[in-house]
Amino acid sequence: MTSWRSCPLILLAMTYILSGCASSKIHEVSSLGDLGAVQSYVENGGNLEERGDKNWVSGLYHYAGKTPLHVAVENNQLAVVRYLIEKGADIEARTSAGETPLILSAKSANIDMFDFLIAQSANGFAVDENGNTALLAALDSLKDQPEQAYEIATALIQRKADVHATNRWGRTPLHLAAQHDLESVAKLLIRHGANINALNKYGESPLFVSLKNTYFSYKDATYEFKRSKTFEYLVQLKQKFNVKNQKGLTLLHRVCYPDYVEMLMDKGAPKNEPNNEGEPPLFFAVEHCPIETVAVYLKRGFGVNSTGVKGKTLTLAALNNVYFRQEMLSFLVEKGADVTQQDSVGRSAIHQAGAHSPEIIDIVIRHGGDINARAKTNSTPLHVAASLNISKLISYDFQSQRDLNVLAYDYLLNKPGIQMNVKDVKGCTPLHRAVNSNSLKKIELLLAKGADFNIAENRGHTPMDLAVLSKSQPMIDVFKQYGAVSKMDASKSYRVLCAYP
């Protein structure tokens, strides 16, 4: 094994775990510009096309699949680059990601290196494995360095870079500038003829992708809308505002910032165009945005009792809002929303309220919600809330939401007049549904309140039978504590009816 004393640049080398210097030395010294060490390596028969070991630097893949030339280029070591090329290094060698030295020079915003490689006959039209040209690769690499991105984009365009080039996802340089909020680059590209209406493979224009990072940041129960200077520039230009992507999303399906909603509506963006699932933008706003966003729609004439796909009501949509569930529901009812309004299967806000919090239950009841309301399947709020598996309820605070879910169910169960043993059209009681959703806490709450565990659904299964079929010993044990018995053969297969209503 080579002694560590024979390795150049020993202070750096000692920070890594090396199995010797032979396979790593040329990459290390090339990156640091140690021309003497590079010359020594080459003169002693070293391989100019040696590929870096992806595990070489403490698990970080700095040299993964790269030749010494790649490493020297991206570290701006021009003297080493010149020497390696003179000695026959492959100027078109590709990394494991398909990047040539020329592409790496653009990603490093090193125009002098780029020019040198072009002068050495490097292919200026080379693309990486994802179809990225030097310009595309540079804009993606320098997304957090707007000044450098602008400088390299200017230089590449002056050198005839194609502003219309697309990668494998159909993204043009303008798409990347818009996505990364590189306003000055976007203006540069537009001045040089970039197509503002170009669509990527997902059917999205540059204006569309500029909205991807403009929702809001949420922390410690406070939020702040995110802005995009590139959006604010692009939206003023003449273009198509009725664009829809492959999912049928319009521009208004992608924006929460109230000012941007206003801008798009003023520009003629379709305000009521549904996505592929049948949901218009208003429902996106109610389910994903703060109340200020929804206020814009109401100001523009949308009604609080509007309905979406399958008759979904805005009050039901509000209960899907992860961050502003209670605030959104309160806002809508204050504006006159009818909490008893039903969707196409007869569910209203009270059916969902029992899965969220006591405060939400009270809001709905206070505005006319019936704790024993029946859907078309004869399901009550206790049925629906029992069926909602907490793992499927999205929350920024999973533990908090799980606790609230059980707390809300307990609160609903203790409301005077609540009916616990109602059978839906499949003959299932709330207790059947709690078993089917594997909700041990809700089973315990129902049994403690006196729910009848001997009621059989339409195929003759009691809640205890379903527990046996599920092979859940904790659930079985709870039922046994209350004297429930079952004659089910758990080894056989049964078709269970009590799924989500």
The domains of the chain are located at: 1-129, 431-501
The answer to whether the 1-129 and 431-501 domains have the same CATH topology is: yes
> How many angstroms separate the CA atoms of 95 and 165, rounded?
21
Q: What is the pLDDT of residue 147?
A: 96
Q: What is the pLDDT of residue 57?
A: 44
> How many angstroms separate the CA atoms of 186 and 183, rounded?
5
Low-confidence ranges of the chain (pLDDT < 50): 1-23, 55-61, 390-399
Do the beta carbons of residue 412 and residue 371 sit within 8 Å? yes
What are the backbone angles phi and psi of residue 42, rounded to the nearest 5°?
A: -65, -45
> How many angstroms separate the CA atoms of 221 and 144, rounded?
27
> How many angstroms separate the CA atoms of 348 and 333, rounded?
13
Q: Which residue has the tokens 């129902």?
A: 446
- Please provide the size of the chain in residues: 501
- 431-501 — its CATH code? 1.25.40.20
Q: What is the pLDDT of residue 219?
A: 75
197-252, pLDDT tens digit by residue? Answer: 999 999 999 999 999 988 887 776 678 889 999 999 999 999 999 999 999 999 99
> How many angstroms separate the CA atoms of 497 and 489, rounded?
17
* Burial (CB count <10 Å: 0-12, 13-18, 19+), residue 463: buried
Nearest by Cα to 66 from 108, 34, 101: 101
pTM of the model: 0.84
Q: What is the pLDDT of residue 39?
A: 92
> How many angstroms separate the CA atoms of 307 and 282, rounded?
10
3-state secondary structure of 60: strand
Sign of the Cα torsion 116, 120, 124, 130 reads negative
Hey, what are 50's tokens? 């040696």
> How many angstroms separate the CA atoms of 288 and 5, rounded?
61
Return the number of other C-beta atoms located less than 10 Å from residue 417's C-beta. Answer: 7
> How many angstroms separate the CA atoms of 23 and 368, rounded?
75
> How many angstroms separate the CA atoms of 483 and 354, rounded?
28
Q: How many CA atoms lie within 13 A of 130 on its CB side?
A: 12
Return the number of other C-beta atoms located less than 10 Å from residue 334's C-beta. Answer: 11
Q: What is the pLDDT of residue 9?
A: 40
3-state secondary structure of 305: coil
Do the beta carbons of residue 124 and residue 135 sit within 8 Å? no
List all residues 6 or more positions away from 293 whose beta carbon is below 8 Å from its beta carbon.
Answer: 255, 256, 257, 258, 261, 285
> How many angstroms separate the CA atoms of 5 and 226, rounded?
54
- 1-129 — its CATH code? 1.25.40.20
> How many angstroms separate the CA atoms of 222 and 236, rounded?
31
**What is the C-alpha end-to-end distance of the chain, expressed in Å?**
70
Nearest by Cα to 69 from 43, 115, 44, 103: 103
Return the number of other C-beta atoms located less than 10 Å from residue 3's C-beta. Answer: 8
